[in-house]
């Protein structure tokens, strides 16, 4: 899947007298192979860190491809006796929704192709001829996988490999948000691996939560922002191949390579990054990956079919210039 690098800026002011009864809390650490940062305001004493650990453990046990004992690892090895939990089912069903909406461009079974081209953690194939490509393509397609009423997974081919990396972090954030909601917390910002969920306000500023989107053209030694965004009661996810684009020697156009799950081929894409805002972080996470795979024009067509989804797309034009495509709803949330 695509590499993600997303710089979060949270701007703080002074606590007003009216908000002093809501204590500010900040938790930072590492989980799910990345870092997290959570700020919330509450006058209630509860063991948030213990709750977080429980959430991370539950999701890792269900969907971590890096844990050999997880349900998804067992399923990928061909174990047909596994009964998946509610976490797995929700992510699987959301993946199926985006798979259908994107006509197959979002596909959690594309991992074998990603590795074959050298874009993933697995071993790259030195020779990828048409016969090998057709063989690998036969293992791709979420429609080859189903889940029954007893939470058992069935695959048309036992070699089909599932990986929810492009959506699981967003789902985890949603679960953390639900946990904070259950504890009566009304103002928080959750960030995990660059994905975000905001509720209420930053009480230290008395305004919306302010976050920043990385500039995909920044130099390796610098961190520069492309835009700043106001979030309140919504989620945002960003996907991009930062600093991994190539340049056409004739036109100067910048592009990245993405895998087309339908053809099995690595294609040039002019989309350099995609930031998506919607109500659930899991869905924003999945759409951000989807748009990167589709490219600008296909993404714009898909957006016409979606409701309550706004985007900030950074793309390279044919003359080599870097431009943005911003939906009206996203434009309203930009900090001037």
pLDDT tens figures, 68-85: 999 999 999 999 999 999
Confidence at 6, pLDDT banded by 50, 70, 90: very low
Candidates 106, 67, 71; CA nearest to 87 is: 71
Higher pLDDT, 223 or 5: 223
Residue 96 tokens, joined: 């199926």
- The DSSP code for 19 is G
Confidence at 228, pLDDT banded by 50, 70, 90: very high
Residue 252 has pLDDT above 60, yes or no: no
Residue 258 labelled as part of a binding site: no
Residue 4 has pLDDT above 60, yes or no: no
Specify burial of residue 73 (Cβ count, 10 A radius: 0-12, 13-18, 19+): middle
In angstroms, the CA 60 to CA 66 distance is: 9
- In the prediction, which pLDDT does 2 show? 41
CA end-to-end distance (rounded Å), the chain = 33
Residue 233 CB contacts under 8 Å (≥ 6 apart), including other chains: 198, 199, 200
Residue 239 has pLDDT above 50, yes or no: yes
Confidence at 8, pLDDT banded by 50, 70, 90: very low
- In the prediction, which pLDDT does 42 show? 96
Confidence at 151, pLDDT banded by 50, 70, 90: very high
- In the prediction, which pLDDT does 155 show? 96
Residue 289 labelled as part of a binding site: yes
Of 8-22, 181-195, 209-223, 299-313, which gets the smallest average pLDDT?
8-22
Q: Percent of the chain beyond pLDDT 70? A: 84
Confidence at 220, pLDDT banded by 50, 70, 90: low
In angstroms, the CA 225 to CA 214 distance is: 5
Specify burial of residue 250 (Cβ count, 10 A radius: 0-12, 13-18, 19+): exposed
Confidence at 130, pLDDT banded by 50, 70, 90: confident
Domains and CATH numbers, the chain: 64-166 (1.10.3980.10)
3-state SS string for 29-71: EEECCEEEEEEEEECCCCCHHHHHHHHHHHHHHHHCCCCCCCH
Mean predicted confidence (pLDDT) in 7-17: 44
Q: What is the pTM of this model?
A: 0.88
Residue 9 has pLDDT above 80, yes or no: no
In angstroms, the CA 165 to CA 286 distance is: 9
Residue 285 labelled as part of a binding site: yes
Q: CB–CB of 1/120 below 8 Å?
A: yes
Mean predicted confidence (pLDDT) in 263-286: 89
Q: Dihedral through CA 112, CA 312, CA 170, CA 302, nearest 10?
A: -60
- What is the overall mean pLDDT for the chain? 86
With tokens 């996988």, the residue in question is 145
Of 165-169, 266-270, 318-322, which gets the smallest average pLDDT?
266-270
Residue 324 has pLDDT above 60, yes or no: yes
Residue 127 CB contacts under 8 Å (≥ 6 apart), including other chains: none
Confidence at 15, pLDDT banded by 50, 70, 90: very low
Higher pLDDT, 228 or 240: 228
Candidates 6, 35, 34, 8; CA nearest to 242 is: 6
Mean predicted confidence (pLDDT) in 132-148: 91
Higher pLDDT, 50 or 319: 50
Confidence at 135, pLDDT banded by 50, 70, 90: confident
Q: CB–CB of 24/39 below 8 Å?
A: yes
Residue 123 has pLDDT above 60, yes or no: yes
């Amino acid at each position: 899947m695509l590499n993600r690098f997303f710089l979060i800026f949270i701007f703080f002011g002074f606590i007003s007298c009216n908000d002093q009864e809501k204590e500010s809390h900040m938790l930072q650490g590492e989980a799910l192979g990345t870092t997290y940062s959570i700020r919330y305001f509450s006058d209630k004493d509860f063991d948030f860190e213990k709750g977080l650990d429980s959430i991370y453990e539950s999701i890792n046990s269900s969907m971590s491809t890096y844990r050999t004992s997880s349900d998804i690892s067992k399923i990928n090895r061909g174990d047909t006796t596994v009964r998946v939990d509610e976490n797995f089912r929700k992510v699987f069903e959301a993946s199926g929704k985006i798979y259908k909406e994107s006509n197959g461009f979002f596909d959690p079974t594309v991992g074998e192709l990603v590795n074959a081209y050298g874009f993933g953690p697995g071993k790259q194939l030195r020779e990828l001829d048409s016969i090998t490509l057709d063989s690998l393509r036969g293992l791709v397609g979420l429609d080859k996988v189903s889940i029954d009423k007893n939470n058992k997974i069935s695959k048309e081919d036992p070699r089909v490999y599932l990986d929810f990396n492009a959506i699981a972090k967003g789902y985890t954030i949603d679960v953390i948000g639900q946990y904070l909601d259950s504890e009566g917390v009304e103002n928080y910002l959750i960030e995990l691996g660059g994905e975000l969920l905001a509720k209420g306000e930053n009480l230290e500023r008395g305004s919306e939560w302010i976050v920043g989107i990385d500039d995909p053209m920044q130099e390796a030694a610098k961190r520069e922002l492309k835009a700043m965004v106001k979030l309140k009661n919504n989620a945002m996810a960003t996907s991009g191949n930062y600093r991994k684009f190539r340049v056409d020697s004739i036109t100067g156009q910048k592009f990245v390579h993405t895998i087309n799950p339908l053809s099995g081929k690595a294609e040039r894409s002019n989309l350099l990054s995609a930031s998506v805002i919607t109500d659930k972080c899991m869905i924003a996470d999945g759409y951000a990956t989807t748009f990167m795979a589709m490219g600008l024009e296909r993404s714009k067509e898909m957006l016409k079919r979606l409701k309550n989804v706004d985007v900030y797309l950074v793309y390279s034009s044919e003359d080599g210039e870097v431009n943005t495509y911003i939906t009206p709803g996203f434009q309203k949330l930009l900090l001037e």
